[in-house]
Amino acid sequence: MAGSEHVGHGTRPAVQASLPDGYDVLTAGDGGPWARRLVLVWVVAVAFVATTFCPVAPALATTPRAIKTAAPRTEATAAPRTSGTAAPRTSGTASPHPGAVPAAHPKPAWQVAWGSAMAWGYGVASDATVRELVTPGVGGEAVRVRISNAFGDRPLVVGAATVGDSLGGAAVMAGTLRPLSFGGHLGVTVPAGQYAYSDPVALKVSAGQTLAVSLWENGTDLVSVHPCCSGTAPVSYFTPNGGGNLTASPDGQGLTVASQWPRWVDALDVLRSGPGSIVVLGDSITDGYNTTTNWVRVLQGRVDKLPPAEQRAVVNEGITANALTSYVPTDSTTGGGPSGLSRLAPDALDQAGVSEVVVFLGTNDLWFGATASQLIAGYRQLIAQARRAGVRVVGVTLLPRSAGHWPWSALKQEELERVDRWILTSKAFQGVIDLAPVVADVYNGACEPWVMFPPYDSGDHLHPDAAGQVAMANAVNPAVLGLPPLPDAPALVAVTPTHGCLGAP
């Protein structure tokens, strides 16, 4: 299949790539006989939402549901790659800044419960159905879906869409499929570079319950994707181009292509009462590169042990190879994508019900040549932007790294350690999670905090393996995020801190 010619916003370079033969989309229109039969179902569903959630009717009316323009992609400085970093100790400290976390909402409100940051345009789809698996971190009484055409090179024509309970793989539990509407229509055209929210669907969902969101692309468009995680199970199933509208298919037998890369669906909101969502803006370490899990997923598992009223969604908005201050000019197979500064609004601040943003970016900036001063200036800019939006910002220290799959010099290590000292001591952030010493080689008699602990190293001296990711999640101080005490996840490696190293007794 031919690759793309042009990607979304004018500031983004074109990305050429291909999908397995046949990735397609349907044309607009009424969606065919099946869609017409769903009109009555949609009317009943909307009526149920209106009557069941009448206390929040004004919120439903004022929350954006149709087209939303993407935030301008204004780039900043430098240019990095993968992820990793160095220095300090312990899990994290809460800033004395008041208002750690807002009180629970007295009435149900929309909160983002799952997300996947789009990073590239990859492959051309035409008359195809895609089914995306999404797992919300918290439950709610209703759901809505956000569709991204951030990297499309033309309007994305969604001819039909559904949501239902996943049975695993491409299958959906019979009887649970609900049509998604957009401003009362069973379809929507999303301009290039923009987003669209579906109307609410009266579908009760629990934390950790996987839903299947299906879209029929009834046109031709460059597909917005999230390149991710070859070691994990597929989360996207789709037809070849010309596969037609299979959004109402429970067995999904025609969805013959499986992928670990999410497509088009970039957020799921739930209607609930409770404290706000936590969004993690990160790179490949957060994305779970070169491992089978990631620390955000493990942290969400810890949070899910709380009573439902105290649970919060921890939304992973990591992009492999992402940098805070600059667009990463890699390619669609390695990630990169818009800078953290330019995607802060669409991936975090513009999401519903967000109370905290955790920033775990910077190692790629240094790898591509940014100085510590440039990176710190980027942090300050991000903090100011988030505070203007009324959102708390929590910083994370960069992890120790050394030369391996990617070169790394003593000078870069010095810059990294300077950045970590600033994160820990500047009080610029409203809280700090100190993960650098957690994965450093400071256990079982060793004391080399500038490199990664071998049992936590995935092998490239940059990305933690599953044991390292679990250790990071367990080291997060819940108080920094306004959470009550949390149970630990089972450790995958037993360690003993080295006496006298980094202050260990």
Mean pLDDT of 324-337: 71
Q: Encode pLDDT of 174-186 as tens digits.
A: 899 999 999 999 9
Mean pLDDT of 310-328: 92
Assigned domain for 437 exists: yes
Assigned domain for 76 exists: no
Assigned domain for 74 exists: no
Most confident stretch, 36-50, 224-238, 308-322: 308-322
Boundary of a domain, candidates 266, 293, 322: 266
**Separation CA 401–CA 81 (nearest Å):** 13
| Domain identity same for 167 and 261 | yes
Assigned domain for 470 exists: yes
Report whether pLDDT(330) > 70.
no
| Domain identity same for 251 and 356 | no
Mean pLDDT of 193-204: 97
The pLDDT of residue 505 is 85
User: How many domains in the chain?
Assistant: 2
**Separation CA 237–CA 426 (nearest Å):** 46
Confidence band (pLDDT; 50, 70, 90) for 44?
very low
| Domain identity same for 354 and 211 | no
The pLDDT of residue 405 is 87
CATH code, 340:
3.40.50.1110
The pLDDT of residue 331 is 57
Q: Encode pLDDT of 381-408 as tens digits.
A: 999 999 999 999 999 999 999 998 899 9
Q: Which residues is 387 bridged to in the sheet?
A: none
Mean pLDDT of 328-349: 82
| Domain identity same for 256 and 319 | no
Report whether pLDDT(275) > 50.
yes
Report whether pLDDT(106) > 80.
no
The tokens describing 344, both together, are: 């802060």
Assigned domain for 149 exists: yes
Confidence band (pLDDT; 50, 70, 90) for 333?
low
**Residue 327: which domain range?**
92-105+274-503
Alpha carbon dihedral 477, 112, 72, 388, in 10-degree steps, equals -50
| Domain identity same for 201 and 282 | no
| Domain identity same for 206 and 355 | no
| Domain identity same for 41 and 101 | no
The pLDDT of residue 226 is 94
The pLDDT of residue 108 is 95
Assigned domain for 204 exists: yes
**Separation CA 334–CA 376 (nearest Å):** 25
Instruction: Give φ, ψ of 227 to 5 degrees.
Output: -65, 125
Q: Residue with structure tokens 């035409």?
A: 126
| Domain identity same for 179 and 49 | yes
Report whether pLDDT(126) > 50.
yes
The pLDDT of residue 33 is 39
| Domain identity same for 126 and 202 | yes
Assigned domain for 418 exists: yes
The tokens describing 79, both together, are: 């240019």
Q: Encode pLDDT of 429-460 as tens digits.
A: 999 999 999 999 999 999 999 999 999 999 99
